[in-house]
Amino acid sequence: MTETASPNDDGSLSVLTVDLGAIAANYALLVKESAPAECAAVVKADAYGLGLEPVARTLERAGCRTFFVATLDEGLALRNIVNHDIYVFAGVVQHNAELLASNSLRPVLNDLEQLRLWRKHTNAPAAVHIDTGMNRLGFPPIEVDMLRSDPTELDNFTPKLLVSHLACADEPTHAMNAEQLERFRTAQTIFPNVPASLSASSGVFLGPEWHFEMVRPGFALYGGNPQPTGANPMQTVARLKAKILQCRAISSGESVGYGATFRADTPRRIATISTGYADGFLRALSNKATAYIGENPAPLVGRVSMDLIGIDITGIDGVKAGDWVDLLGPNYGVDALARDAGTIGYEILTALGQRHRRVYLEADA
């Protein structure tokens, strides 16, 4: 791997390293797992917080030719990076149809109102989203029935893709998966010969019958575990390091941080780290997370504050101000961090703030 910069070549107090080679490897694994279906890539929310431009260019070089984003603004930003198919999950709303069409952005139409609005402005390609049970976005069952009973609603319309979204794909035996699959297949009869896409990251690993013509992973590309009940097949992508600002000794009975939520039961050594909830290190991690100094675990003590956290370095020799601490990486990955925060890895990645200096590791040619 080629590193564009080292974590200690300037005055940075925290460094987020993004391994683009790992993203390319993860994409290759997902391509292999989903073949012969096309493997698209979801790069919404600034590529899950890791940087839209470097991630999209990496995926393009890896062979990706279809991308998904959440909003028009994201689509416009991505259009300046790649010249491939871009789908916008939010669909079309008043006043943005012409902007979508003129930039060759394909809305994912979520109801009859959006379909009619799109048809009114253009016959450019778009996708149709069928709600198969998630009750979030997509044509509800009553509108699916309307399309079936009145095919003229689809006149002068070019559907390029039929999509739905699985609610429980990360639980392979959940009954909801089979229910949604059956509903999706039923909806397909309204759109003969239109390519279909049902599976995101976890759905890729449910098996071939879930793949249809396209899969569209997101989280797995960035190192998240698409099958939480088993070992993670994806490579680690994100690593967060932060600098120790100060080390101190505290006596038995002394506390650390706001609210005095941690109180030492024996004399301890505490290191204060330059990262907090403003940097995406969630307050929910207070007294729960684990940092690493080399291979040595150092538990977080006290509350996470806006800019600072404290870790217990008792028994770890030679630790001093200016040393680097791993907060996210191979020893303590995004899913482990999320578990300790009581959330999901998606939130961890997308919450990473802008104060971290970013280093991108390119795959060697």
Query: To the nearest whole percent, how much of the chain has pLDDT over 90?
Result: 93
Q: Summarize pLDDT for 208-251 with one digit per residue, the tens.
A: 999 999 999 999 999 999 998 899 999 999 999 999 999 999 99
Question: pLDDT value at position 9?
Answer: 56
Question: pLDDT value at position 5?
Answer: 42
Question: pLDDT value at position 88?
Answer: 99
Q: 183-210 burial, b for 16+ CB within 10 Å, e for fewer?
A: bbeebbebbeeebbbbbbbbbbbbeeeb
Q: Summarize pLDDT for 128-146 with one digit per residue, the tens.
A: 999 999 999 999 999 999 9
Mean pLDDT of 175-194: 97
Closest C-alpha among 202, 204, 130 to residue 169: 202
Residues with catalytic roles: 44, 258
312 touches 275 (CB < 8 A):
no
Question: pLDDT value at position 158?
Answer: 84
According to DSSP, the β-strands at 214-215 and 38-39 are: parallel
pLDDT of residue 365 exceeding 50, the answer is no
Average pLDDT, the chain: 95
47 touches 79 (CB < 8 A):
no
104 touches 80 (CB < 8 A):
no
Question: pLDDT value at position 163?
Answer: 99
Q: Summarize pLDDT for 107-135 with one digit per residue, the tens.
A: 999 999 999 999 999 999 999 999 999 99
DSSP-assigned letter for residue 332: B
Question: pLDDT value at position 349?
Answer: 95
Structure tokens belonging to residue 47: 């590529």
Q: How confident is the model at residue 89 (pLDDT cuts 50, 70, 90)?
A: very high
Query: To the nearest whole percent, how much of the chain has pLDDT over 70?
Result: 97
Question: pLDDT value at position 364?
Answer: 64
Burial of 112 (0-12, 13-18, 19+ CB in 10 A): middle
pLDDT of residue 79 exceeding 80, the answer is yes
352 touches 240 (CB < 8 A):
yes
Mean pLDDT of 253-271: 98
Q: Domain spans of the chain?
A: 36-222, 238-362
Structure tokens belonging to residue 83: 């010249």
Q: How confident is the model at residue 14 (pLDDT cuts 50, 70, 90)?
A: very high
CATH classification code of 36-222: 3.20.20.10
Question: pLDDT value at position 260?
Answer: 98
List, edge to edge, every strand of the sheet that includes 105-109: 38-39, 214-215, 196-197, 159-163, 126-129, 105-109, 85-88, 66-69, 41-42
Question: pLDDT value at position 353?
Answer: 87
- Read off φ and ψ for residue 216, nearest 5 degrees: -140, 70
CATH classification code of 238-362: 2.40.37.10
Radius of gyration of the chain from Cα atoms?
23
Question: Can you tell me whether residue 270 is helix, strand or coil?
Answer: strand
pLDDT of residue 3 exceeding 90, the answer is no
Question: Can you tell me whether residue 105 is helix, strand or coil?
Answer: strand
pLDDT of residue 301 exceeding 70, the answer is yes
